[in-house]
Amino acid sequence: MRHYTIKDFKGDFPNDEACLEWLKNAKYPNGIFCDKCQKVTKHYRLAKRPAYSCEICGNNVYPMVGTILEKSATSLSTWFHAMFLMANTRCGISAKQLQRETGVTYKTAWRMFRQIRSMLGDDVST
Ligand SMILES: [Zn+2]
C-alpha cells in the first residue's frame, strides 16, 4: 500500500471547508438525521457558520460539536494538519515539532498535542 504523504494530505484538505466536509461525512456517513424532522434529510452548507442546515425545517447541525474541535479558536485545517502529523509520525512527534510544522503558538501546539494524543488513544503515561 502506498504511503499517505503530506502532499496527499494537502490535496485532500486544502482548506477549512474541505476539513468540515470530511468531518460531516465521517460523523454522518448515512446522511444527517434531523432531530426536528425525525428522519434523514438533505442539508445544505451555511455560509457564515461551520454548520449545515436542514432543507425542510432549517434546523442547524454543527459537525464540530462534541469533538475536540468544538471550542477551539484554532482553524480546522491546522487541527487536521496536526492530526496528520501525529498519526503519521511513527516514532512520535513532540509539541515543539508540532508548533514548528503548523506555525501556531507553543501553547496552542501543546493543547492540540495533548488532545490529539488522548483522541488517538495513545498511552498517556509515556
Ligand atoms: Zn429538519
Q: Is residue 9 part of a domain?
A: yes
Q: How far is the CA of 58 from the centre of ligand 1 (A)?
A: 6
Q: At what angle do helices 95-102 and 106-120 cross, to 10 degrees?
A: 110
Cell output for 104: 501556531
Q: How far is the CA of 63 from the centre of ligand 1 (A)?
A: 15
Q: How does pLDDT run across 9-41, given as a tens digit for each residue?
A: 999 999 999 999 999 999 999 999 999 999 999
pTM score = 0.85
Q: How far is the CA of 30 from the centre of ligand 1 (A)?
A: 15
**Same domain? 53 vs 84:** no
Q: How far is the CA of 57 from the centre of ligand 1 (A)?
A: 4
Which residues constitute the domain of residue 45? Answer: 16-61
**Same domain? 75 vs 110:** yes
Q: Is residue 32 part of a domain?
A: yes
Q: How far is CA 116 from CA 1, 3, 38, 122, 126, in A?
A: 25, 21, 33, 9, 14
Q: Is residue 33 part of a domain?
A: yes
Q: Is residue 11 part of a domain?
A: yes
**Same domain? 47 vs 27:** yes
Q: How far is the CA of 41 from the centre of ligand 1 (A)?
A: 6
Q: How does pLDDT run across 67-108, given as a tens digit for each residue?
A: 889 889 999 999 999 999 998 887 789 999 999 999 999 999
**Same domain? 52 vs 86:** no
Q: How does pLDDT run across 38-78, given as a tens digit for each residue?
A: 999 999 999 999 999 999 999 999 999 988 898 899 999 99
Q: How far is the CA of 56 from the centre of ligand 1 (A)?
A: 5
